[in-house]
Amino acid sequence: MSKVEERLAKLGHKVPDPGTPMFNYVGAVRTGNLVFLAGHGPRREDGDYIYLGKVGRDVDVETARKAAELTALNCLGSLKQVIGDLDRVTRIVKLLGMVNCMPDFVDQSKVINAASDLLVAAFGDDGKHARSAVGMSSLPLNISVEIEMVVEVGA
């Protein structure tokens, strides 16, 4: 188990096996020292998505934050599939967090900050990243949160 996974385990988190994408794409692509992670959602290891619905109507902020944490862990699972060991991460570069929300919902940053907090807990200062947190009128499968990332890795 990597040091990153040990830190997450102490917080009660496990990096899941993300499984196979449902459609014609891959979960992550490495080019040079960068890994581009596809949009991930709050998927359990059994393949079922949880935390469904619109934030501000069907899902409250605290539940959406749990969705963001699980989604970030799923991103790390895909990252691990590509690089083998999360200790090879040199920097989380960019995170795009999308929140399926009502038009008047304005707390996207509070929701996505749960993912940012998890990444900083896992990677320390190397987990600090540029970020966008945006509201969406809908997301695939009615998931409440979707996250994509760009990560720098060492050799």
Q: Which tens digit of pLDDT belongs to each residue from 80-89?
A: 999 999 999 9
Residues in the chain: 155
Range of the domain at 76: 1-46+59-91+108-124
Predicted pLDDT at 55: 98
Give a yes or no: residue 118 inside a domain.
Answer: yes
Question: What pLDDT does 132 receive?
Answer: 98
Instruction: Write the pLDDT tens digit of every residue in 40-65.
Output: 999 998 989 999 999 999 999 999 99
Q: Is residue 140 part of a domain?
A: no
Provide the pLDDT for residue 104: 97
Total number of domains in the chain = 1
> What are the angstrom distances between the C-alpha of 29 and each of 92, 110, 126?
15, 28, 20
Report whether 114 contacts 60 (CB < 8 A).
no
Q: What is the per-residue pLDDT for 56?
A: 97
What is the pLDDT at residue 23?
Answer: 87
- For the chain, the first-to-last Cα distance in angstroms comes to 19
Q: What pLDDT sits at residue 134? A: 98
Looking up residue 85, the CATH number of its domain turns out to be 3.30.1330.40
pLDDT band at 155 (very low <50, low <70, confident <90, very high): confident
Classify residue 72: in a domain, yes or no. Answer: yes
CA distance 36 to 8: 22
| 131 located within any domain | no
Please check whether residue 96 lies inside any domain of the structure: no
